[in-house]
Amino acid sequence: MGCGVSKSNRFQKRDNKAIKAAVLIQHWYRQYVARMEMKRRYTWHIFQSLEYSGEQAQIKLYNFLGYLMDNFTPSSNERNLISHFFRENEVCRDSEWERFFCYKNIKVPEIYSGPRLTFPLTVEQGSSLVDAFRNKRQLHSRFVLQLLLETWRLLRRFPNISRISTCQSKEITICGDLHGQLEDLLLIFYKNGMPSMERPYVFNGDFVDRGEDSIEILLILFSFLLLYPNDVHLNRGNHEDHIVNLRYGFTKEVLTKYKMHGKRILKLLQKIFSWLPLATVIDQKVLVLHGGISDTTDLSVLARVDRHKYVSALRPPKKRLPSTASMSVDLEEDAWRSGRRRSSSSSLPKPLTRGSFQSSSLPDFSDRVQLPVEEQLEAQQRLLALHSSAGGATPATSPSQDSQEGGDDTQEEWKQILDLLWSDPMTQDGCVPNEVRGGGCYWGPDVTEDFLSRHHMLLIIRSHECKQEGYEFCHNRKVLTLFSASNYYDVGSNRGAYVKLGPDLVPYVIQYQASSMTRELTFRQRVGQTEHSALRLLKKQLFSHKSDLICAFQDLDKENTGLVSLKDWAMAVERVMHLGLPWRMLRFQLVSCRNRDGSVDYLQWFTELAIQEPNMDHIEKSLLEMLYRHRSTLETIFRIVDTDNSGVINMEDFRQTWKLLSIYLKMEFTEEAISDLAVAIDSNQDGSIDIQEFMEAFRLTDKKSRLERGRSMFMGTAPDLTRLHPGDPDLTRLHPGDPDLTRLDPGDPDLTRLDPGDPDLTRLHPGDPDLTRLETGDPNLTRLHPGDPDLTRLHPGDPDLTRLDPGDPDLTRLETGDPDLTRLETGDPDLTRLETGDPDLTRLDPGDPDV
Amino acid sequence: MADDLERAEIIVTEVHKKINDAFEVFDHDLNKTVDVREIGAIVRSLGCFPTEAELLDIIDERPPNVLLLKVEEPSGFICFERFLPTMSKILMEHKFRPIPEDMLLTAFEVLDRQKKGHLEPDELTDYMRQGNEPFTHLEMEEMLSSAVDPDSNLIYYKDFVNTMVLDGER
């Protein structure tokens, strides 16, 4: 007896010890998770800062070129080089356009096995296009042009703002940025169904750039637009702009995929982009637009603008009235100049410069651009003449004032469009220029409130910003950001999301992640991996600022010790980089060898960054560094100079490009240095430079890409990957919910918050709407009956399909070679889809019609 | 004396900087506020090991009207000015000191009664559901996803402790 008591005591004691140990582990683990979260956050910061600083550079360059156009004599070399670029507003008869884009003379070769389109398009052709793109086929340029021409004709009939309504049976699906990531679009179609009369869609801009399949995405969206003009709605995004496309890859993509007719395709797309509607309003209560609003956004103004005048939204259109053309240009310039004077002489805070974002983000170039003396004189004379004529008119309404107002109107319109495409929300009240992106504005909750009440609306759905979860509510849930390109920065960096909106106008968000890679990784691995690629990017950026950084360090290192304190290191780095990153936080990741007192040997540090420079010994160091740093800018200028979009520029243009760049960057390049560059690339000495080749030759790489090797090893050894269906939805979201939820009844609204896979869902009945949220492979689906609509969401190869009867419509979605087809009986209509040589055909009897 | 004062000042500035750095990472709008739900991550990433209850105390240490700077969603925001003194005090007084790594390993060894060198997922789950602040479903799943060896479906805790220590280091 006594023995028993002591035994139980001992157990008690042991249990206490175990619980103490458990608590310690809990403690430790939570601390560990916090540190990982910290990493995840700053990784995000790095990606985003680098992305936005690129956007800024793009807009700066464009403003610079615009400035050149406005200030150089028409005949100057520099101007000739870029003037074609601004000749976009040409008034051209539509019939002339149609002739220019005529596709009829393009022959489609017999051997072409891709999809063939006829117009009006049929539903079958639409889905065959999707299938072809899924299988990495390409659409023939003849059909591309034809499809684009049809799209252009259709788009011109649409108003600036599409007004649509929900209805009980048709929920509207809204998608955010796709950025050329076809995998995401296919996944959305797979999960949600293709667009149709019953399944309307709004695609909220940024279809192109960055991803590899931008043109495919456009062609799919346009073909569905042609098929269902009342049920598919496209809003323009800031990347539907040919100038933005020069930097972010779409131009390059089209020229690579369509070598012969790429140029015409791009030209036609320029037109199409300018005709894309600007916004969509659902049930008069929900506004869907790409970027956002500002304190001046007014839908009635937006509804009236000639949207096609804004071929690029980065620059206000010039007036084209022939009689006043020259005058209005001068005036505009004058207004702009005085605007600049105001903003530079005034010490008032930033918001004043709002409204002329050109001037606010444009540093003063006048010291770099030396106007020829005669031209300055001429300009002054023109101004004088103008003023004297104004003085001669009646003083009350001088003509100059009139046209000034006219200019303001255009300016005002342009600003509305710019804000719509480029703005981001912020948490503070107010409205300030978006200095980070260089375009549009930041608007606060008060602006949202005011806008919604002015327009009698409830909600703004916008895209434009990548969010880790694919969506994010802000401004008291009155603004929803929606981003549909998953793994945007890197594999595992973010989810994508789309929204379904029914008559109750309560947005229902569906998240996904396209890459099947991500599910194999634990949270920890994912964070580690994205962190590494973010740091790699950042290290390259740092390396490309080497000489500026060394200057900054030396400034702080008064005694020339070669060392700086960590504090000084962080300060100097931010002073040079302007990325607004938490440098002190990042120091452990960026600086590994430190002295005991915490100081950094800065020269040593650059070796430590482990960046491999291309082997270009004979080329000036400063020139090389400039090349690394302004890589995208340089490529953009090349693409502009490459007037005929051939991908190749001649030596003279090459030199001119550098001249432009040297003005832009305030740097001197000697003729000799530039010749060296040219020679280094033009190995066959034919006097022309391949842009692509040139850019590739001057790329920074990692010295040791251990991580990359590790990653590909990982991809190679994961045996499960081969068995996965492409586009299989990511199941990483499958977290069981809180134990308290077990007390809820089916139908309880709280259940909608459960993730698929939650054990609580087992209590749902077949037909329960919550089941629609389940993903393929969910055990709960086994409880469904054949014919249940939820089964339409199953993948081919899904074990649940084995329960379907031959003849079940769901089987039509199976792909050739699918094991489930072996269950079909001879004569089954589904077999007609099989291709010759399919093993399933061996089961058929000779004489079977399918044979 | 003056020297001591100077040194103390340097320490305080260093501590403030450290806090500022951590805070900034979570300050999305660069307006010196963070979501209340992020405070845990900030405090812990500064090397502290508070319990969940202690964390709540830290958050509640502010007068409630200041705490809820702006009520958006069911949460609130905490501004840097209020967070700094509380957090500085914690760091200066060395509250919630880190638990040494060897203790972490010892703790796992205590749970591994038969000294097999590994734990079963169910075993670990049982233990983690103990104590005053048991793991939530989410935490448990997350922990298992990185702790369980996929081949054997076991937790080789020595390896796990190593990854936890290594990943957080630097």
The whole-number pLDDT of residue A821 equals 46
CB neighbours of residue B5 within 10 Å:
9
Least Cα separation, residue B1 to chain A (angstroms) = 23
Number of C-alpha atoms within 13 angstroms, CB side, residue A500? Answer: 17
The whole-angstrom separation of Cα A223 and Cα A395 is 57
The whole-angstrom separation of Cα A43 and Cα A494 is 12
Q: Which residues of B touch A582 (CB under 8 A)?
A: 21, 24-25
A837 pLDDT higher than 50? no
Catalytic residue among A140, A179, A233, A239: A239
**Residue of A10, A12, A28 best to disrupt the B interface, most CBs of B under 10 A:** A28
Give the pLDDT band (50/70/90) at residue B75.
low
> Range with the lowest mean pLDDT among A37-46, A186-195, A464-473, A790-799?
A790-799
Give the pLDDT band (50/70/90) at residue A640.
confident
The whole-angstrom separation of Cα A279 and Cα A796 is 37
Give the pLDDT band (50/70/90) at residue A33.
confident
> Which amino acid would we find at residue A732?
T
Give the pLDDT band (50/70/90) at residue A402.
very low
The whole-number pLDDT of residue A419 equals 94
Give the pLDDT band (50/70/90) at residue A532.
confident
The whole-number pLDDT of residue A783 equals 46
Residue A747 Rama label (left phi>0; alpha psi -120 to 50; beta): left
Q: Are the CB atoms for A682 and A650 separated by under 8 Å?
A: no
Q: E strands along A295-427, which residues?
A: 424-425
Give the pLDDT band (50/70/90) at residue A172.
very high
Question: Which range is most confident: A383-397, A468-482, A588-602, A760-774?
Answer: A468-482
What does the block give as tokens for A751? 């259940």
The whole-number pLDDT of residue A407 equals 56
Which of B21, B135, B139 faces A582 most closely, judged by CB atoms? B21
Q: Per-residue pLDDT tens for A733-756? A: 223 333 333 333 344 433 444 444
Mean pLDDT for A778-791 is 47
Question: Which range is most confident: A147-151, A742-746, B17-21?
Answer: A147-151
Q: Per-residue pLDDT tens for A674-696? A: 777 777 766 566 677 777 777 77
- For A173, counting Cβ atoms within 10 Å of its Cβ (0-12 exposed, 13-18 middle, 19+ buried), the class is buried
The whole-number pLDDT of residue A333 equals 33
The residues pairing with A180 across neighbouring beta strands, listed in sequence order, are: none
> Range with the lowest mean pLDDT among A448-452, A578-582, B138-142?
A578-582
The whole-number pLDDT of residue A520 equals 52
The whole-number pLDDT of residue A75 equals 59
List the one residue out of A656, A552, A545, A511 whose CA is nearest residue A184.
A511
Give the pLDDT band (50/70/90) at residue A95.
low
The whole-number pLDDT of residue A373 equals 45
Mean pLDDT for A355-374 is 41
Given the structure tokens 């100079």, which residue do they identify? Answer: A641
Least Cα separation, residue B42 to chain A (angstroms) = 7
The whole-number pLDDT of residue A54 equals 79
Least Cα separation, residue B6 to chain A (angstroms) = 18
The whole-number pLDDT of residue A782 equals 47
The whole-number pLDDT of residue A397 equals 35
Q: Are A524 and B167 in contact (CB < 8 Å)?
A: yes
The whole-number pLDDT of residue A825 equals 44
Mean pLDDT for A429-451 is 89
Helix (H) or strand (E) holding A30: helix A2-71
The whole-angstrom distance between residue A12's C-alpha and the CA centroid of its chain comes to 60
Q: Are the CB atoms for A351 and A444 separated by under 8 Å?
A: no
Q: What percent of chain B has pLDDT over 90?
A: 15
Parallel/antiparallel/unpaired status of strands A563-564 and A508-512: unpaired
Mean pLDDT for A793-800 is 48
Q: Are the CB atoms for A763 and A741 separated by under 8 Å?
A: no
- Asked, as a colleague might, if the bond just before B50 is cis with ω within 30 of 0, I would say no
Q: Are B139 and A567 in contact (CB < 8 Å)?
A: no
More confident of the two residues B150 and A216 = A216
More confident of the two residues A621 and A24 = A24
Number of C-alpha atoms within 13 angstroms, CB side, residue A361? Answer: 27
Mean pLDDT of chain B: 81
- Does A580 lie at the interface with B, CB-CB under 8 angstroms? yes
A669 pLDDT higher than 80? no
Mean pLDDT for A524-552 is 82
Which of A27, A34, A45 faces B40 most closely, judged by CB atoms? A34
Give the pLDDT band (50/70/90) at residue A423.
very high
A187 pLDDT higher than 70? yes
A815-824: long-range contacts at Cβ-Cβ below 8 A with a sequence spacing of 24 or more? A816/A840, A820/A796
A244 pLDDT higher than 60? yes
More confident of the two residues B8 and A515 = B8
Mean pLDDT of chain A: 72
Give the pLDDT band (50/70/90) at residue A767.
very low
Give the pLDDT band (50/70/90) at residue A709.
very low
Q: What are phi and psi of B129, to 5 degrees?
A: -90, 5
The whole-number pLDDT of residue A76 equals 63
More confident of the two residues B71 and B143 = B143
b/e sequence B82-108, b meaning 16+ C-beta within 10 Å: bbbebbeebbeeeebeeeeeeebbebb
The whole-number pLDDT of residue A219 equals 97
The whole-angstrom distance between residue B11's C-alpha and the CA centroid of its chain comes to 22
More confident of the two residues A261 and A798 = A261
- Does A38 lie at the interface with B, CB-CB under 8 angstroms? yes
The whole-angstrom separation of Cα A770 and Cα A751 is 8
> Range with the lowest mean pLDDT among A487-491, A815-819, B18-22?
A815-819
The whole-angstrom separation of Cα B84 and Cα A811 is 62
- Does A762 lie at the interface with B, CB-CB under 8 angstroms? no
Sign of the Cα torsion A650, A651, A652, A658 reads positive
Rg (chain A; Cα; Å): 30
How many residue pairs from chains A and B have C-beta atoms closer than 8 A?
139
A593 pLDDT higher than 70? no
Give the pLDDT band (50/70/90) at residue B124.
very high
- For A324, counting Cβ atoms within 10 Å of its Cβ (0-12 exposed, 13-18 middle, 19+ buried), the class is middle
A152 pLDDT higher than 90? yes
Q: What is the pTM of this model?
A: 0.68
The whole-number pLDDT of residue B149 equals 84
The whole-number pLDDT of residue A427 equals 85
Residue of A nearest to B129 (CA): A22
Q: Which residues of B touch A29 (CB under 8 A)?
A: 135, 139, 143, 164
Q: Are A32 and B110 in contact (CB < 8 Å)?
A: no
A642 pLDDT higher than 60? yes
> Which amino acid would we find at residue A657?
T
Q: What percent of chain A has pLDDT over 70?
A: 61
- Does A428 lie at the interface with B, CB-CB under 8 angstroms? yes
The whole-number pLDDT of residue A787 equals 46
Q: Are B73 and A735 in contact (CB < 8 Å)?
A: no
The whole-number pLDDT of residue A746 equals 40
Least Cα separation, residue B2 to chain A (angstroms) = 22
- For B71, counting Cβ atoms within 10 Å of its Cβ (0-12 exposed, 13-18 middle, 19+ buried), the class is exposed
The whole-angstrom separation of Cα A439 and Cα A419 is 8
Given the structure tokens 């770099």, which residue do they identify? Answer: A368
CA end-to-end distance (rounded Å), chain A = 85
A764 pLDDT higher than 60? no
Say if the ipTM goes beyond 0.95. no
The whole-angstrom separation of Cα A510 and Cα A503 is 18
Q: Are A738 and B132 in contact (CB < 8 Å)?
A: no
Least Cα separation, residue A492 to chain B (angstroms) = 16
Q: What percent of chain B has pLDDT over 70?
A: 88
List the one residue out of A30, A744, A737 whose CA is nearest residue B138.
A737
Q: Which residues of B touch A30 (CB under 8 A)?
A: 40, 44, 52, 139
Q: Which residues of A touch B130 (CB under 8 A)?
A: 18-19, 22-23
Question: Which range is most confident: A304-313, A515-524, A826-835?
Answer: A304-313
Q: Are B164 and A32 in contact (CB < 8 Å)?
A: yes
**Residue of B18, B20, B21, B136 best to disrupt the A interface, most CBs of A under 10 A:** B21
A504 pLDDT higher than 60? yes
Sign of the Cα torsion A119, A186, A530, A721 reads negative
A506 pLDDT higher than 60? yes
Q: Are the CB atoms for A364 and A340 separated by under 8 Å?
A: yes
Given the structure tokens 């356009």, which residue do they identify? Answer: A97
The whole-number pLDDT of residue A72 equals 63
Residue of B nearest to A49 (CA): B28
Q: What are phi and psi of A747, to 5 degrees?
A: 95, -10
A304 pLDDT higher than 90? yes
The whole-angstrom separation of Cα B80 and Cα A570 is 21
The whole-angstrom distance between residue A429's C-alpha and the CA centroid of its chain comes to 27
Q: Per-residue pLDDT tens for B31-61? A: 788 888 888 889 888 888 888 888 888 777 6
The whole-angstrom separation of Cα A600 and Cα A565 is 6
Mean pLDDT for A104-124 is 90
A239 is catalytic: yes
A384 pLDDT higher than 60? no
Mean pLDDT for B135-144 is 88
Q: Are A32 and B106 in contact (CB < 8 Å)?
A: no
Residue of B nearest to A476 (CA): B72
- In sequence order, what are the residues at sequence separation of 6 or more whose Cβ sits closer than 8 angstroms to the Cβ of residue A21? B106, B107, B108, B110, B111, B127
Which of B21, B52, B131 faces A584 most closely, judged by CB atoms? B21
More confident of the two residues A468 and A527 = A468
Rg (chain B; Cα; Å): 19
- Does A759 lie at the interface with B, CB-CB under 8 angstroms? no
